[in-house]
Amino acid sequence: MSHESAPRGQLMIVATPIGNLGDLSPRALALLEGADAVYCEDTRHSRTLFAAHGISPRHRLLALHEHNETAASVEVVERVARGELVVLISDAGTPGISDPGATVVAHVVRAGLTVSTAPGPTAVIGALSVSGLATDRFVMEGFLGRKAGERAASFAAWRRERRTIVFYESPQRVAATLGELARSLPGRRAAVVRELTKLHEEVLRGTVQELAAQLSARDVRGEIVVVLEGAGEPEAPAQAVVAAALRERFSHGASVRDAVADVVAELGVARRETYALALTMRADEGPGAPARDGSAGTS
């Protein structure tokens, strides 16, 4: 690796494969080879990755996991400050994504030192990209809570969530989770993405009811991401509903301006169309109708 592509004195967040070893990028490989220290969740696990790529770990493979992240972060800051190239990896995928990483990055940033990345695999993006669901806006929920109350709160929030929802789930719980979704959000489409990039890769697509039925009838194994369709755009209220809301305001003596403002706020309808409708209604009432306010702007 050239000096330019891996300057010393920085922390590099390096993504590693989520299954297929071929997904380790040449740049990630060079960083692992050239680092002064590589911090990883589980040194034994990462030694397997190093061995598969012919990297000799020597003394540079150090542990950084959820139980020592703060102490190890202090150590990382000291190393970076004295000019070392420190690499952070996790067991699989991108560090910091439902994995340790955020704390050490915050420490390095707070010390005014540089953090950079060799980006690559992460199950959340892989699953989203093959789901067949909308990818333009999405929300990553990490692992769902295990307590019934936490799960119920998530499902309630998702009833109004317009973005596609992605979460990690265990094979033991996924059938029950889809069952809960079938009851809470019937009709929503979803994709259950299993063992991405591995031999038994599988993507099940359907409504949450269909997926719950499929999964409850089999022994589910491997690593899983669930991608759930968002709530979609709410249907615009019919004109009759908007007219009724305006009429109700008029009957209480509201001006056109006030009635429109009120109805726009309540129903979330377009101001311009609501204003035009209000004026038409007023005109239809004839010249005898009290001219409470026809002068408001249409912006």
Q: Does 19 bind ligand SAM (CB under 6 A)?
A: yes
Q: Does 64 bind ligand SAM (CB under 6 A)?
A: no
Beta-carbon count within 10 A of 86 CB = 27
Q: Does 274 bind ligand SAM (CB under 6 A)?
A: no
Pair 60, 86: CB distance under 8 Å: no
**Spatial CB neighbours of 181, under 8 Å, sequence gap ≥ 6:** 155, 188, 190, 208, 212, 228
- Footprint on residues 228-267 left by ligand SAM (CB under 6 A): none
- Footprint on residues 166-195 left by ligand SAM (CB under 6 A): 168-169, 193-195
Q: Which range of residues in 46-54, 66-74, 90-98, 281-289 is near ligand SAM by CB under 6 A?
A: 90-98
Which residue's CB is nearer to ligand SAM, number 166 or number 259? 166
Give CA separation, 144 vs 107, 158, 276, in Å.
27, 12, 47
Q: Does 16 bind ligand SAM (CB under 6 A)?
A: no
How many chain residues are in contact with ligand SAM, going by CB under 6 A? 23
Encoding tokens for residue 106? 């915050």
**List 38, 124, 190, 191, residue binding ligand SAM (CB under 6 A):** 124
Q: How far is the CB of 126 from ligand SAM (least distance, A)?
A: 7
Q: Does 98 bind ligand SAM (CB under 6 A)?
A: yes
Beta bridge partners of 117: 13
Which residue's CB is nearer to ligand SAM, number 204 or number 264? 204
Q: Which range of residues in 182-190, 218-226, 229-237, 260-268 is near ligand SAM by CB under 6 A?
A: 218-226
Query: What single string gives the DSSP state of each residue in 185-231?
Result: STT-EEEEEESTTSTT-EEEEEEHHHHHHHHHTS---S-EEEEE---
Q: Which range of residues in 47-55, 207-215, 222-230, 282-290 is near ligand SAM by CB under 6 A?
A: 222-230
Which residue's CB is nearer to ligand SAM, number 163 or number 198? 198
**Distance (Å, rounded) from C-alpha 253 to C-alpha 7?**
72
Q: How far is the CB of 194 from ligand SAM (least distance, A)?
A: 6
**List 69, 99, 141, 229, residue binding ligand SAM (CB under 6 A):** 99
CA 36 to chain centre: 33
Q: Does 197 bind ligand SAM (CB under 6 A)?
A: yes
Q: Does 123 bind ligand SAM (CB under 6 A)?
A: yes
**Distance (Å, rounded) from C-alpha 86 to C-alpha 32?**
9
Phi, psi of 297 (to 5 degrees): -70, 165
Which residue's CB is nearer to ligand SAM, number 123 or number 175? 123
**Distance (Å, rounded) from C-alpha 51 to C-alpha 178?**
38
**Distance (Å, rounded) from C-alpha 34 to C-alpha 85?**
8
Interface with ligand SAM by CB under 6 A: which residues?
Answer: 18-19, 90, 92-94, 97-99, 122-124, 168-169, 193-198, 223-225
